[in-house]
Amino acid sequence: MSGDATTADGGQRTAAPAGLRTEGLTKSFGGVRAVNEATVSFRDGQINALIGPNGSGKTTFFNCVTGMIKPDSGSVIFRDKEITGRAPHRIARGGIGRSFQLCRIFPRMTLLENLLVAVRARNLRELMAGSRQPEAVDRARELLVRVGLDHLENAEAGNISYGQQKLLELAGVLMSDPDTIMLDEPAGGVNPALIGRIGTLVRELNAEGKTFLIVEHNMDMVMSLSHHVVVFDRGRPIAEGPPSVVQSDPRVLEAYLGV
Ligand SMILES: Nc1ncnc2c1ncn2[C@@H]1O[C@H](COP(=O)(O)OP(=O)(O)OP(=O)(O)O)[C@@H](O)[C@H]1O
Ligand SMILES: [Mg+2]
């Protein structure tokens, strides 16, 4: 796709295919407006970060975008198509993959089995058929090599470290080859060596064309990895830009430190 795109603030920027954006996205829980008329866009091909204090609505935003939660109002637009309120499996089929803040793996299954059940399937029969396909097994093995867990192929997922479980979950996301990958706190609770490996993987996958949207509290990771950072406070973006600009934005310091 070519031609200039208009930025949220009305300026022109160099061409990039339309990515993922929301308009006025809102979701309340009782009296709490977890996501509050959030209008934000993330360009294709970039590593985007979504940061903000605890409870600022980042996970709820992810849940609304991926169909896990139906927003009260507003819209989610992926590559110029409205996907608001679609079922999660349809959104996944459209090319958006995600991981969860609290790792979702099957602890009693082996690593290889975990990847085989992560393949997109519409029903149990398809799931069982898919998991026996040699191509799926080959792909799962390839991905285990890629995330550095191939030596643990037959270990039970519940017995590996939390950081390794995060890598396994990332491999599970990659099984269906999404081109937009949303990670909710990939470094949370992970030891520094594995954080480094996760960062390297994200960079490599981005170089291969994958778009990322990463929620993360680890500022070293966010600032070293991201092209574009969006800062949430009380359910909506309050600042955005390249890491160097966002880091010194007084609104960001205020949101984080209350100063
Ligand atoms: N299922 C729910 N029911 C009720 N309130 C909820 C629910 N999910 C989130 N909230 C509330 O919505 C607000 C936003 O929560 P959310 O989990 O989206 O924040 P977050 O930015 O991901 O925080 P953290 O950085 O701690 O993960 C919080 O006040 C939270 O308590
Ligand atoms: Mg969260």
pLDDT tens, position by position, 156-184? 999 999 999 999 999 999 998 999 999 99
C-beta of 57 in contact with ligand 1 (< 6 A): yes
| SS3 letters across 120-159 | CCCCHHHHHHHHHCHHHHHHHHHHHHHCCCHHHCCCEHHH
How far, in Å, CA of 49 to CA of 157, rounded? Answer: 28
* Ligand 1 and 48: CB distance under 6 A: no
CA atoms within 13 A on the CB side of 77: 18
59 lines ligand 1 (CB under 6 A): yes
Average pLDDT of the chain to the nearest whole number: 88
b/e map 21-46, b = 16+ CB within 10 Å: bbbebbbeeeeebbbbebebbbbbeb
Q: Does position 43 have pLDDT exceeding 90, yes or no?
A: yes
pLDDT at 12: 45
The confidence band for 130, taking pLDDT boundaries of 50, 70 and 90, is low
Instruction: Read off the amino acid at residue 118.
Output: A
Q: How far is the CA of 190 from the centre of ligand 2 (A)?
A: 16
User: What is the Cβ-side half-sphere exposure of residue 84, based on CA atoms within 13 angstroms?
Assistant: 16
Ligand 1: which of 25, 60, 72 to mutate, most ligand atoms within 8 Å of CB?
60
What residue's CA is closest to ligand 1, atom 3? 29
